[in-house]
Amino acid sequence: MSTQKEQLDLFVAIVGDIPLRDDREMMSAPMVSLAKRSPMRLDWEGPSGQKVTITASEQTGGIATIYDFDILLWAISQINAGVERGHKPSPTITFRPYDLL
């Protein structure tokens, strides 16, 4: 029997351990458009001066808006609540529309 402890990998991220709240780097880049209508192009200049252009294809209907982000936050909160109750997360989320609205 070995008494040595197993060495863990230093660069393996466990998703639940990554703090996304108040993360300056995450908040510095636009994840969604703040416009009510979905734009087809989004230009952004990063904190180091790098320039990024995001262009959506015609099939997608445009870049995600703040309203789309509300749905994403709701879905994440539902997944988190399930995990806290001990449920295993599923790759598919099924819900009734009135639960979201």
- Residue ranges of alpha helices (H) inside 12-65 are 24-28
Tens-level pLDDT at each residue, the chain (101 residues): 556 666 655 555 555 555 656 666 666 666 777 777 777 888 888 778 888 888 888 777 788 888 888 888 888 888 888 888 888 888 888 888 888 87
The residue assigned the tokens 């997360």 is: 89
The residue assigned the tokens 């609205």 is: 101
Which H helix or E strand runs over 54?
strand 51-55
Task: Kindly report whether the global pTM for this prediction surpasses the value 0.85.
Answer: no
